[in-house]
């Protein structure tokens, strides 16, 4: 079997070198004898994928590749994959699997029993929803508090302004919060609007939910880390029985490299807060990347 290639973004100021944010993973790959290549993230987003992959050496056969880099819209990821195939590299996660793991509408049904109830609708960036739009959207949630986001990301750092809705049956307030989220996301609004039922989770002294990020490769949990937003030195342990139910969902999802963010609800139940494609999920700054890089090399 051909060994996989690890692809990381290039440094904007030194285009032949890895971006500093991914340098630890690049070094871990090199130390493990795994081939590395850089792609130009800015060129991908600009639509010039041919330029983005120009520093990827052409392969005579078909070589598997893992992307480890900044988040990409699903369409841009698909274009990157097509450009890489002209260089003889086929991404291990195909575009359909990437979209499924990356966007909430793709993974929600599979994880519905383990994650807060959610509704969503496609939406266009730059347009503010009306109370009528939002009242119709959230009706099935039945009232109570909620949180809002797009298909991929929330504005949790603007919690009261653009994330949390105290009462979803108050359509005017919900529309105001969602409109602000849409405004702040701007052109980066991904897919549409998501509204999720609010659940109370155990938190740290600063009010942050204590989240664990579980990294799954080929359906197996290869690494458990704190969420990358957690303070340095944070430790979070997830019991094996909590992982068992999540494992079944990850395998049913079918994407080869997935992350699940888990938090302990106030009633003692572990819940899935977010699912993501592992290629664009961030490692905590103090996490040794060797285990993850090795798992990707073995799975490729």
Whether residue 270 contacts residue 264, with contact meaning beta carbons closer than 8 Å, is answered with yes
Q: Which CATH number does the domain housing residue 210 bear?
A: 3.30.470
Do 190 and 210 lie in one domain? The reply is no
Q: State the average pLDDT over residues 80-104.
A: 98
If one compares 1 and 296, the residue with the highest pLDDT of the two is 296
Q: State the average pLDDT over residues 84-107.
A: 98
The residue among 177, 197, 217 that closes a domain is 197
Do 189 and 208 lie in one domain? The reply is no
Provide the token pair at 170: 């108050």
- What's residue 250's pLDDT? 98
Provide the token pair at 127: 């347009």
Q: State the average pLDDT over residues 193-204.
A: 93
Do 69 and 137 lie in one domain? The reply is no
Is 112 among the domain residues?
no
pLDDT > 90? residue 236: no
Whether residue 263 contacts residue 209, with contact meaning beta carbons closer than 8 Å, is answered with yes
- What's residue 1's pLDDT? 58
Do 81 and 131 lie in one domain? The reply is no
Do 87 and 17 lie in one domain? The reply is yes
If one compares 233 and 43, the residue with the highest pLDDT of the two is 43
- What's residue 208's pLDDT? 72
Is 111 among the domain residues?
no
pLDDT > 90? residue 206: no
Q: Which residue in 277, 240, 133 sits closest to 195, CA to CA? A: 133
Is 110 among the domain residues?
no
Do 256 and 182 lie in one domain? The reply is no
What is the count of structural domains for the chain?
3
Q: What is the average pLDDT value for the chain, to the nearest integer?
A: 95
Provide the token pair at 265: 């609800």
Do 57 and 129 lie in one domain? The reply is no
Q: Which residue in 116, 70, 144, 81 sits closest to 275, CA to CA? A: 116
- What's residue 159's pLDDT? 95
Is 247 among the domain residues?
yes
* Length, in residues, of the chain: 300
pLDDT > 80? residue 207: no
Do 159 and 208 lie in one domain? The reply is no
Do 192 and 208 lie in one domain? The reply is no
The residue among 197, 216, 247 that closes a domain is 197
Is 193 among the domain residues?
yes
Is 25 among the domain residues?
yes
Q: Which residue in 115, 274, 86 sits closest to 197, CA to CA? A: 115
- What's residue 203's pLDDT? 82
Where residue 70 falls among pLDDT bands split at 50, 70, 90?
very high
Is 207 among the domain residues?
yes
The residue among 154, 173, 197 that closes a domain is 197
pLDDT > 90? residue 210: no
Do 193 and 211 lie in one domain? The reply is no
pLDDT > 90? residue 192: yes
Do 83 and 148 lie in one domain? The reply is no
Do 253 and 286 lie in one domain? The reply is yes
- Determine the Cα–Cα distance for residues 79 and 41; give it in Å rounded to an integer: 12
Percent with pLDDT over 90 in the chain: 90
What is the span of the domain harbouring residue 263?
100-105+202-299
What's phi and psi for 48, nearest 5 deg?
A: -100, 70
- What's residue 90's pLDDT? 97
- The 10 Å Cβ neighbour count of residue 153 is 16
């Amino acid at each position: 079997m051909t060994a996989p290639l690890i692809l990381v973004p290039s440094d904007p100021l030194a285009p032949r070198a890895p971006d500093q944010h991914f340098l630890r993973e690049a070094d871990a790959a090199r130390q493990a004898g795994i081939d590395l290549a850089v792609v130009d993230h800015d060129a991908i987003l600009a639509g010039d994928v041919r330029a983005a992959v120009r520093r990827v050496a052409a392969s005579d056969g078909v070589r598997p590749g893992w992307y480890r880099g900044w988040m990409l819209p699903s369409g841009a990821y698909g274009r990157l994959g097509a450009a890489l195939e002209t260089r003889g590299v086929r991404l291990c996660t195909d575009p359909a699997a990437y979209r499924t793991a990356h966007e909430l509408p793709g993974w929600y049904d599979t994880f519905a029993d383990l994650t807060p109830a959610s509704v969503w609708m496609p939406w266009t960036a730059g347009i503010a929803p009306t109370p009528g739009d939002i009242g119709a959207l959230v009706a099935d949630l039945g009232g109570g508090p909620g949180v809002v986001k797009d298909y991929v990301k929330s504005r949790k750092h603007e919690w009261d302004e653009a994330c949390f809705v105290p009462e979803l049956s108050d359509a005017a307030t919900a529309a105001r919060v969602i409109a602000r989220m849409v405004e702040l996301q701007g052109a980066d609004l991904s897919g549409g609007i998501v509204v999720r039922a609010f659940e109370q989770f155990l938190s740290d002294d600063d009010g942050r939910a204590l989240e664990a990020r579980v990294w799954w490769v080929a359906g197996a949990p290869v690494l458990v880390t704190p969420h990358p937003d957690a303070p340095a030195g944070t430790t979070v342990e997830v019991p094996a029985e909590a992982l068992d139910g999540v494992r079944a969902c990850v395998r049913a999802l079918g994407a080869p490299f997935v992350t699940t963010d888990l938090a302990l609800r106030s009633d003692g139940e572990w819940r899935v807060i977010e699912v993501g494609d592992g290629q664009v999920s961030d490692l905590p700054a103090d996490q040794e990347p060797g285990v993850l890089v090795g798992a990707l090399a073995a799975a490729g």
